[in-house]
Amino acid sequence: MGYVGWIVFAPLLVAVIWFVWYIWNSSATLDARIASGDDSLLYSNSFNISEVIRAPYGSKIDLVKTVIPQNQIAMMPMQLADGRVLMVPVKVVSGHASMQGNQPTPIHRTQ
């Protein structure tokens, strides 16, 4: 009867030891990721964030879609011949920047 008990007890003991190690390792890994400021925790399906500790009371994280309104003016870098970089205003059409500036076309008058 003693051998049958060990045959049943040994796998159960191994399963309990593995389960305790798994929980401890998951906790230690999570603590390390939080300490390093891993941003992927915010968007992970494995975790449900209900509170952010280092934020004012009542703060929460909301996912916000970035929407670019049509016909908006944006800035685009342009390198000049002497190597300087100049930010040039461009008109955003359908979410893409066009090469048209927001300044009216100059009219050259001859007298």
Nearest to 97 by CA among 58, 57, 68, 67: 68
C-alpha–C-alpha distance, residues 10 and 57, integer Å: 49
* Domains in the chain: boundaries: 1-64, 66-105
Quote the pTM value.
Answer: 0.40
Handedness of CA 21, 27, 33, 35 (dihedral sign): negative
pLDDT digits (tens, 9 = 90+) for 62-74: 766 666 556 667 7
Q: Judge whether residue 18 has pLDDT over 90.
A: yes
